[in-house]
Structure 1
Amino acid sequence: MPSPGAKLSHSSPFCKGGPTMPSIFSYQSAEVDWCEGNFERLTVIAEYYNTLSISNVSFFVLSPALVYLNQQYRQQRALPLYFFSGLLFCVGIFSMYFHMTLSYVGQLLDELSILWTLAVAYSFWYPRVYFPRFIKSRKHFFWLSGVTTVIITTLMSFVKPAFNAYALNCIAFHLLYLTWCELKKCNDKRVHRTAAAMVLCWVLAISSWISDRWLCGLWQSINFPYFHSFWHVLIAMSLLYCCPLVVYFDVNYEMPSFKPKLGYWPSDSWPVVVPYIALEEPYKQC
């Protein structure tokens, strides 16, 4: 079995032949290789835990959970929620494919699916009060987000795919800044508690990502190279708290006739809960 991080002499268990340039679809043709050992459990799956464990299943659970729990919001603004949830589902699929093959195409699909999911989220939910001065409408902001994503991030993926992993984590800082700006305007203790849980999960997630990337030798020495799997789970949990916050602020800005209320599933009394947004009855119009 190849050691973690080593490249095979041929790119796939299914590809035999001489030392030719590997196909972009070939096993282990990606620029990155995570700390988990390759092909240790199955000969057709490069990174077993990053592919089949709960780490990627979490994305498949997150997507329908957002749609189901936020039923009232979905009735008012179905397109953003369905679109975003569908892209999250794609993130899970492409992440599984990437970690199964460690192929160049898998790496591109994995990173681009995340980039486009963020672009869609920004396009639908970025508050108008933060628009640049030259943007006059949501339609113009859609075009700005789309063009920026295509020209800068998507094309950059083909030049240097590994760069996007760091760019994606930098975007998180902007999201945290926006959350902080909105929390200063909000007195709802549930919103602040949910934001704190989101930040905690994100800090643990990014710590796991950095640990797997930079301290791989240490984790291999103690036979515990699974921190990238923890990253998947923790970032999905962070999104589980982040998305209701985004919806909460969106209702405040875009649906002034409704008042958002943060609820907890299955019950407020449970120690571990999933937040969602309920809409109180519309205010009476004068």
Structure 2
Amino acid sequence: MWPVRQPVTPVHREGQKTFGYWGPHTSSIDWCEDNYVNLPYIAETWNTFSNIPYMLLGLHGVLLTQGLPHRARFALLHAGVALIGVGSFIFHATLNWYAQVFLDELPMIYVSTLCLYVILMAGKDAWWKRLVAPALVMLALAVTVIYFWYPNPVFHQLSYAFIQFLTTARNYVLLQTVPPSVRKQCHRILWSGAITFLLGFAIWNVDNQFCDTLTQYRGHYGDVVGALTQGHAWWHVLTGIGGSRIVVGVTYLALCVEDPDGYEIGTSLGCMPYVRAKAKVSHKKAE
């Protein structure tokens, strides 16, 4: 393991176990879920298993990119959503600092950077597009090195916000170039994803602000209430859904910029959107 220049002080909630099956808890955050309550191998049960929607939705997206042009970049973007879920699963199961940084926090930066790449590469060819890939690789590497040596969560949050700002700005520019019907569909799916994401963020903050009260409430009313009131677990579920929808919206916009009439949004099981090519209708000449 690489040493960190600035030591990270582990954070432990009062009364919580600081050591488990995977060793000491070295993470800089201890979430509002009691440790090792349900399983001996999982530090935070609900914060761990609530990452499964991330994995399933990411896999769903990968499988349904078949037949799309530039499939590799779209499939990789959906795979990134699944990998965020895997990384977060491992982190919350172990509460290990290296898992927190390299499997949970930095993958958020990498997937966001890939999303920015996809939307920057959409549209007509231009000389500056040859610089996009190396510039974004350098950006991701710079964030990685700085955050590893100086693990300040504010830096991570600002880096993530900066990438999201660039992506949103590029989305806005491209939305002005597509037909109104495509623009409406893009707005619908992108906004629904963003609102779901923000709802998860709001619930998580309630968890942070009222952790002591919620902990007492959970202990009084039993395991079912305890599971349903895990705000960070709901953050995982809702951001998995919202993030997946945003990726579908970006994919649809990127493809429709090149061929506005060639693609549409479909759904699996009535609730999981994906992008597909429109069926071509053959017109037979009247005899």
If the length of structure 1 is used for normalisation, what is the TM-score? 0.76
1:166 pairs with one of 122, 141, 157: 157
1:125 pairs with one of 119, 122, 134: 119
Residue pair 2:58, 2:244 contacting (<8 A) in 1 also:
no
Over residues 203-240 of structure 1, what are the superposed CA-to-partner deviations in whole Å (9 max), with x where a residue is unaligned? 21111232233332332242255100000110111122
- Alpha carbon RMSD of aligned pairs, Å? 3.2
Report the 3-state secondary structure (helix = DSSP H, G, I; strand = E; otherwise coil) of the residue aligned with 1:41.
Answer: coil
1:177 positional shift? 5.0
Change (3 A) 1:102 1:9: closer
Alignment map for 1:122-201 (pairs within 5 Å) = 122-126=116-120, 136-160=127-151, 162-163=153-154, 166-167=157-158, 170=161, 171-172=163-164, 175-176=167-168, 178-180=170-172, 182-183=174-175, 187-188=180-181, 189-201=184-196
* In 2: Cα distance, 1:277 partner to 1:261 partner: 6
1:248 positional shift? 1.3
Report the 3-state secondary structure (helix = DSSP H, G, I; strand = E; otherwise coil) of the residue aligned with 2:24.
Answer: coil
Report the 3-state secondary structure (helix = DSSP H, G, I; strand = E; otherwise coil) of the residue aligned with 2:67.
Answer: helix
Residue pair 1:7, 1:28 contacting (<8 A) in 2 also:
no
Identity %: 19
Gaps of 5+ in 1: 15-25, 130-134
Residue pair 2:117, 2:132 contacting (<8 A) in 1 also:
yes
If the length of structure 2 is used for normalisation, what is the TM-score? 0.76
1:80 pairs with one of 73, 90, 111: 73
- Structure-2 residue corresponding to 1:232: 236
Residue pair 1:63, 1:86 contacting (<8 A) in 2 also:
yes
Report the 3-state secondary structure (helix = DSSP H, G, I; strand = E; otherwise coil) of the residue aligned with 1:71.
Answer: coil
Change (3 A) 1:163 1:27: farther
* In 1: Cα distance, 2:81 partner to 2:45 partner: 21
1:5 maps to amino acid: R
1:260 positional shift? 2.2
Residue pair 1:128, 1:138 contacting (<8 A) in 2 also:
no
Report the 3-state secondary structure (helix = DSSP H, G, I; strand = E; otherwise coil) of the residue aligned with 2:195.
Answer: helix
Change (3 A) 1:172 1:216: farther
1:138 positional shift? 2.5
Residue correspondences, number: 257
1:124 maps to amino acid: V
* In 2: Cα distance, 1:39 partner to 1:194 partner: 38
1:112 positional shift? 1.3
Alignment map for 1:63-102 (pairs within 5 Å) = 63-73=58-68, 76-102=69-95
1:180 positional shift? 4.9
- Structure-1 residue corresponding to 2:223: none
Gaps of 5+ in 2: 1-11, 219-225, 281-287
Residue pair 2:62, 2:79 contacting (<8 A) in 1 also:
no
- Structure-2 residue corresponding to 1:39: 36
1:33 positional shift? 0.9
- Structure-1 residue corresponding to 2:20: 12
With a CA cutoff of 8 Å and minimum separation of 6, indicate the structure with the bigger relative contact order: 2
* In 2: Cα distance, 1:10 partner to 1:201 partner: 33
